[in-house]
């Protein structure tokens, strides 16, 4: 089913209205107390569940409190600290590289523009959008993770599969004031209802708005 842009915007407005009512407490699921912790947590979340990241960071954030702390240990020790999040070597390298650049180029503070965020090791648009939006309230774009990709495709809001292209489509449809919260609504909905293998279409508040593109049929 293909919708023109006007129809997509109209449907998106109704989708936003319903999700806002359904998930009034939607929020960033990664535990953090400042922008730097959120950056580290988001790097760790690649190919890992938020739940696992939160378990790891509960201890990690007591041991490492600022960028300098991550540079004062050997990479191998940091790898052990984050081992259970997977891809620990690359993640440790990214965290230490980002920490070094934050100290040397940004005076120890997290930069607050997309352009500057993208210069940090291990940071692409998703991570930058997470930090800028949730730590600073800066609507620089729309976070696209696996839940956002799946749900937005099923809803017919995008036909793209590359995150950057999905983000571009969502930016055109979603009002800027909702750029930060919109992904959280889709993430909450994706976890609770619009699950990857067995979406619960029969109890979905968006059922009559959804073309169910790519929905996996339930096995009877």
Write the pLDDT tens digit of every residue in 152-210. 999 999 999 999 999 999 999 999 999 999 999 999 999 999 999 999 999 999 999 99
CATH 1.10.1670.10 domain extents, the chain = 5-26+142-209
- For 5-26+142-209, the fitting CATH number among 1.20.120.1730, 2.160.20.10, 2.40.10.480, 1.10.1670.10 is 1.10.1670.10
Given 145, 168, 198, 200, which residue is catalytic?
Answer: 145
Which candidate, 77, 103, 99, places its Cα nearest to that of 88?
Answer: 77
Residue written as token pair 């997509």: 8
Question: What is the band of 220 on the pLDDT scale with cuts at 50, 70, 90?
Answer: very low
Determine whether 177 is an active site residue: no
At 9-28, the pLDDT tens digits run 999 999 999 999 999 999 99
Given 81, 126, 169, 178, which residue is catalytic?
Answer: 126
CATH 1.10.340.30 domain extents, the chain = 35-136
Which candidate, 186, 179, 182, places its Cα nearest to that of 146?
Answer: 186
DSSP string, 64-102: --SHHHHHSS-HHHHHHHTGGGS-HHHHHHHHHHHHHHH
The third-level CATH classification (topology) of the domain covering 35-136 is Endonuclease III; domain 1 (1.10.340)
Q: Are 108 and 85 in contact (CB under 8 A)?
A: no
Determine whether 25 is an active site residue: no
Q: What is the mean pLDDT of the chain?
A: 95
What confidence score (pLDDT) does residue 219 get?
Answer: 43
At 25-61, the pLDDT tens digits run 999 999 999 999 999 999 999 999 999 999 999 999 9
């Amino acid at each position: 089913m293909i919708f023109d842009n006007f129809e997509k915007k109209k449907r998106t407005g109704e989708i936003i209205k319903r999700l806002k009512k359904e998930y009034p407490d939607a929020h960033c699921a990664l535990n953090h107390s400042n922008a730097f912790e959120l950056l580290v947590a988001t790097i760790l979340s690649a190919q890992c569940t938020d739940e696992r990241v939160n378990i790891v960071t509960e201890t990690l954030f007591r041991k490492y409190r600022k960028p300098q702390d991550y540079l004062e240990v050997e990479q191998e020790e940091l790898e052990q600290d984050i081992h259970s999040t997977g891809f620990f070597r690359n993640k440790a390298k990214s965290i230490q590289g980002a920490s070094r650049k934050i100290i040397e180029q940004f005076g120890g503070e997290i930069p607050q523009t997309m352009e500057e965020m993208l210069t940090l090791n291990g940071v692409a648009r998703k991570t930058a959008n997470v930090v800028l939006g949730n730590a600073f309230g800066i609507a620089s774009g729309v976070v696209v993770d696996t839940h956002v990709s799946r749900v937005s495709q099923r809803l017919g809001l995008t036909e793209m599969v590359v995150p950057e292209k999905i983000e571009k489509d969502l930016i055109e449809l979603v009002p800027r004031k909702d750029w930060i919260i919109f992904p959280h609504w889709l993430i909450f909905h994706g976890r609770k209802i619009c699950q990857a293998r067995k979406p619960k279409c029969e109890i979905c508040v968006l059922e009559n708005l959804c073309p169910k593109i790519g929905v996996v049929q339930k096995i009877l």
